[in-house]
Each structure stands twice: as C-alpha cells, then as structure tokens.
C-alpha cells in the first residue's frame, strides 16, 4: 500500500514496527483518529514522518516551526505599525495645513493613543494565540519538556516586550516632535 503525501507517492516499508504508547499520547492519538477519520496506523505513520522530517530540517539548520511563529508575529506588528504611521501622517498633514489649535492637537493625540492601545491589544492577542496554538505545540513536537517550553516562551516574551517598548517609544517621540513643531 502506498501513501499519498504532497506530490509524490511514498512506498511503505516491508517491515512493521510496534511500540507501546504513553497513556496521554494514546488518548491524543484516539482524538486525532476521530478528528481526521483515519486509522491509528495512518495517524502514527504521519506523526513519525512529520517528526523525522522536522528533525532532518532542524539538523540542516532550518527550523520551520519557529520561523512560522516569527513570521506571524512580524506580520501582526508590521500591519499595526503601518496603521499607526498612517495616523501620524494624517496628523502631520493636518498640522501642515495650518491646524494649530490646542483642541485639534488634543483630538489627534487621543486618536494616536487609541490607535496605540488598539495596536498593543492586537499584538498581545496575537502573542497569546501564537504561544498557545503554534509555539507550545511546536516546541513540544521538538521534544522539549515543559520547563524548556516555558523558558523558550519567556525568552520570546522578553523579545516581544522589547519590540512593544521600542514601538511605544517611537510613537511617543513622534508625538513629542510633532508638538514641538507646533509650539
């Protein structure tokens, strides 16, 4: 029997391998057989194939799981930064057209603060989703234990917080420069 995967058909090995699974892994295996409507053997075969492929890529220096996490985080951050820069461009445009009253400045500052709040909330939501649904399963699939996973997440959190701090500083500095130009 051959298994269809990607664009090539892979042949099954002539010899079968047997192993007793851990209880929690077996329960997860049963859940996956129901979810994907496959036999236990098919699910195990796919999991072993994915694990071996991931190991080969990792040994070759190409860790796809963490790069996917980084790309998703970067996409979220860059989208929010673009939106904030657009708002700042609108504020600068208003100021260049002669809008110099304090009320207009306060209004635009509120808009910027609102956008900043929205961006930070979106980034934290994305971070939680990525940790729970991508990073933790990816690290667990790499064979890392709970402590190693927590350490990796703490390290990612520290980087995330530095990026947020830098973004907040950039926005704050833009607002300060903007108000200095006005006054």
Task: Identify whether the C-beta of residue 84 lies closer than 8 Å to the C-beta of residue 175.
Answer: no
CATH number, domain with residue 96: 1.10.132
Same domain for 27 and 109, yes or no, is: no
Same domain for 79 and 140, yes or no, is: yes
- Give the C-alpha distances (Å, rounded to integers) separating 101 from 34, 42, 68, 89, 177: 65, 69, 47, 18, 16
Q: Tens of pLDDT along the chain (183 residues)?
A: 444 455 667 788 888 888 888 888 889 889 889 988 989 888 888 888 888 887 887 777 666 666 666 677 777 777 777 777 777 777 777 766 665 566 666 677 777 777 777 777 777 777 777 777 776 777 777 777 777 777 877 787 788 778 777 877 787 787 777 766 665
Same domain for 178 and 107, yes or no, is: yes
Same domain for 30 and 102, yes or no, is: no
Give the relative orientation of helices 23-36 and 40-59 as an angle to the nearest 10 degrees: 110
Give 4's strand partners.
9
Residue 4 inside a domain? The answer is no
Same domain for 39 and 100, yes or no, is: no
pTM for the full predicted model: 0.34
Please state the domain count of the chain: 2
Residue 11 inside a domain? The answer is no
The structure tokens listed for 58 are 């990792």
Beta strands, E only, the chain: 2-5, 8-11
């Amino acid at each position: 029997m051959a298994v269809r995967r990607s664009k090539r058909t892979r042949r099954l090995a002539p010899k079968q391998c047997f192993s007793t699974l851990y209880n929690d892994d077996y329960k997860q295996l049963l859940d996956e057989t129901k979810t994907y409507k496959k036999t236990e053997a098919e699910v195990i075969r796919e999991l072993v194939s994915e694990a071996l492929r991931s190991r080969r890529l990792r040994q070759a220096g190409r860790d796809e799981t963490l790069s996917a996490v980084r790309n998703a985080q970067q996409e979220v951050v860059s989208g929010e930064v673009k939106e904030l820069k657009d708002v700042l461009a609108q504020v600068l445009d208003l100021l260049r057209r002669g809008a110099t009253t304090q009320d207009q400045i306060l209004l635009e500052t509120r808009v910027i603060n609102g956008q900043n709040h929205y961006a930070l909330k979106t980034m934290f939501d994305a971070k939680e989703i990525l940790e729970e649904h991508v990073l933790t399963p990816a690290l667990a699939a790499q064979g890392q234990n709970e402590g190693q996973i927590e350490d990796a997440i703490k390290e990612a959190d520290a980087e995330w917080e530095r990026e947020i701090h830098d973004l907040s500083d950039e926005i704050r500095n833009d607002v300060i420069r903007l108000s200095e130009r006005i006054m």
